[in-house]
Amino acid sequence: MSQHFAQKVFVGKNMIIMQQIRSILITLVTILAQLFFTLTNLSSPIYADSIKIKEPQNIGIPSSSNPGTILGNIITIIFTVGAVAALFYLLWGTVEWILSGGDKEKIASARKRITHALIGLALLALAFFIAKFAGETVNLDPTAALRLPKLNE
């Protein structure tokens, strides 16, 4: 009796894992199909001779020998790398949780990874506001290079 029950539990776990893999594959196929149709639609001719598109001005990291600009560029790079790393870590934890298959240790590891990623994002946001406040206090804006383009530019 217990062997039969163990076989049912094993089959049940395999079914869950197979459903998770199936849903991941369906998502990937959907994304690839959307990408394919987007790229094939881009190859069609577009007749827009009358539209004038202006190049945006003052976008990106400004180059200068001014110490304030150099410090701002360094801070911008650090914040960008930190945000990308934290989001990658969060995604890694999420995928790890999905693929854990109900294993308590893997779920705990994934939860820990997700928690650390969220704490990292919170600390990054706090550091950004501290840098902004400190810069305004000494009349220097170290985050000036983080300017995003607007629609009317």
- What whole-number percentage of the chain has pLDDT above 70? 61
> Comparing 70 with 88, which gets the higher pLDDT?
88
Q: What is the pLDDT of residue 77?
A: 83
**Residue 101 identity:** G
Query: Which residues lie closer than 8 Å to 89 by C-beta, 6 or more apart?
Result: 113, 116, 117, 120
Whether 97 and 105 have beta carbons less than 8 Å apart is answered as no
Residue-level pLDDT at 118? 94
Residue 61 pLDDT > 60, yes or no? no
Name the least confident of 36-40, 119-123, 127-131, 144-148. 144-148
For the packed helices 104-137 and 67-98, what is the interaxial angle rounded to 10 degrees? 160
Total count of residues recorded for the chain: 153
Q: Whole-model pTM?
A: 0.51
Rounded distance, CA 81 to CA 86, Å? 9
Region 101-111 average pLDDT:
90
| Dist. CA 78–CA 105, nearest whole Å | 33
